[in-house]
Amino acid sequence: MTGRTLITPTNKYRDNDKVIGVGNAFWDLSEHNGLAGIVADLDEGLLRTQSGHEFVNFSCCSYLDLDSHPKIIEGGIDALRRYGVLDHCIARSRVQIPAMLELEASLGELFGAQAVCSIAASTATFGLLPLIASGHLGNGTRPLMIFDKNAHVSMSTVKPVCADETEVVTSRHHDLGFIEDCCKKYARVAYVCDGSDSLGGYAPVKELAELQEKYGLLVYYDDSHSVSAYGQRGIGYVRSHSPVLDERTIVVATLNKAFGTSGAVILLDGCSQQTLRVIERFGGALNYSQLLNTAAVGAGLASAEIHRTAELTTLQNRLYHNIELFDSLIQTGQAGSTFPIRLVPASDSTVVEAGRRVFEAGFYVSPVFFPIVARGTAGLRVMLRAGQTEEQIRALCSVLTEVGAPSAAAAPEPVR
Ligand SMILES: *Cc1c(COP(=O)(O)O)cnc(C)c1O
């Protein structure tokens, strides 16, 4: 048909042509090599496909293996019985059963913060960042919003929404100089980043705190990868190290990784009742979408109880022990860190083939390459967990060596 208008997108903050154009080829290649679209039953820590292939998952983020802990399973069942309802569908700002409030009280006590739960960290971020953009979560002044270039997709995807409320820019990774320059220029600045990156490494929490003290910078951290796995009572990296725990620091974390349950928690400090109400009423899906169901709440309460006991430290130490064992066998850029993720470098052209051979040997590790990671930084992403056995880790590492991973014997002293 002629004469009808075709739309030219602005693609200022997102570009599906680019993302799908480059990314889909990667997914097709992964699936073609049996490394995506896998369906398998889980039994005693081993996965088994319908065709009978057994493997250990070395790319699962349940770092402490709490998701199958008997107390957490029981906690879910117990709460379902106690509340007698899975969910009571109505916006929480109108009517709610006290289940999620019970979990929020428990998590608030556990982490020493004001805790607000949501069904996912993604949902929390989608609710909170636009409120930060408009200044309603903060001091009332619209901030320049700086998104770290590596910010997890759950955050970067909210850029266009924030950009309708304020100015949005993307910074290089942890570019403190750029952030400080912006602080000098703008009345208010908010910086959005991961507390612990999905490819290893932590945020420069102390240096950011200096900017917070000096300029009133607001920092929004997604600490999903370190909550439970790191720190006293599993408080996570950011809250273990940030000297600024007040309204200038907002932490969101999934409960679906090391915490071992479902949902997410927002950790706030010094927030007025009024602000908490604004979050509850205007935080988008935090209000209109479903709450954590009672099974998830009960599992969360049970996990929080485990976090209060010495068992958490035992599990964390087992995780660290496994990380050290891995580091003693395979050389990676993350060696020596407490972070549970290791990227075993490989080239863009060989990484999927390497992943396929490792899978055939009985281990799943996800191949990552451009555009999941920057060009030239492809590799196999290995995640260590508390529940993996020494035998499994040693066996994985010998297969990794066979497919070309550098052995740690040749490694320089790790940087701590
Ligand atoms: C895994 C992950 C998420 C997703 O968490 P959900 O609670 O499932 O939305 C969000 N952010 C980061 C940094 C993650 O690693």
Residue 1 is predicted with a pLDDT of 61
Q: Which of 160, 157, 245 is nearest to 195 (CA)?
A: 245
| CATH among 3.20.20.300, 3.40.640.10, 3.60.21.10, 3.30.70.360 for 69-307 | 3.40.640.10
Ligand 1 contact, 154 CB (< 6 A): yes
198 lines ligand 1 (CB under 6 A): yes
- Cβ(118) – ligand 1 distance below 6 Å: no
Indicate the pLDDT class of residue 410, thresholds 50, 70 and 90: low
Instruction: Calculate how far, in angstroms, residue 251's C-alpha sits from the geometric centre of ligand 1.
Output: 12
Residue 148, ligand 1, Cβ within 6 A: no
Contacts of 259 (CB under 8 A, 6+ apart): 66, 227, 228, 234, 253, 300, 303
117, 122, 237, 341: which to mutate for ligand 1, most atoms within 8 A of CB? 122
CA distance 10 to 313: 50
**Architecture, CATH, for domain 16-52+310-407:** Alpha-Beta Complex (3.90)
- Locate the domains of the chain by residue range: 16-52+310-407, 69-307
Distance from Cα 122 to the centre of ligand 1, integer Å: 6
412 pLDDT tier (thresholds 50, 70, 90) = low
Are 16-52+310-407 and 69-307 equal in CATH topology? no
Q: Encode pLDDT of 112-158 as tens digits.
A: 999 999 999 999 999 999 999 999 999 999 999 999 999 999 999 99
What is the reported pLDDT for 50? 94
The number of the ligand 1 atom at minimal distance from the alpha carbon of 255 is 7
Q: Report the C-alpha gap between 277 and 255 in whole angstroms.
A: 23
pLDDT score of 106: 98
Q: Which atom of ligand 1 is nearest to the CA of 223?
A: 13
β-pairing, 46-49 vs 40-43, is antiparallel
* C-beta 322 within 6 A of ligand 1: no
Q: Give yes or no for residue 413 having a pLDDT over 70.
A: no
- Express each pLDDT in 283-311 by its tens digit: 999 999 999 999 999 999 999 999 999 99
Mutating to test ligand 1, I would choose from 61, 224, 261, 339 the residue with most ligand atoms within 8 A of its C-beta, which is: 224
Nearest 5°: CA angle at 157, between 275 and 270? 20
Average of pLDDT values for 373-381?
A: 82
Cα→Cα distances 60→48, 92, 112, 219, Å: 15, 32, 28, 28
pLDDT for the residue numbered 416: 46
* Residues 91, 127 contacting (CB under 8 angstroms): no
Q: For ligand 1, is residue 129 a contact (CB within 6 Å)?
A: no
Residue 225 CB less than 6 A away from ligand 1: yes
Average pLDDT over residues 385-393: 97
> Is residue 34 very low, low, confident or very high in pLDDT (cuts 50, 70, 90)?
very high
Does the C-beta of 120 come closer than 6 Å to ligand 1? yes
Give the strand pairing for 168-171 and 114-118: unpaired
| 258 C-beta closer than 6 A to ligand 1 | no
Residue nearest to atom 1 of ligand 1 (CA): 224
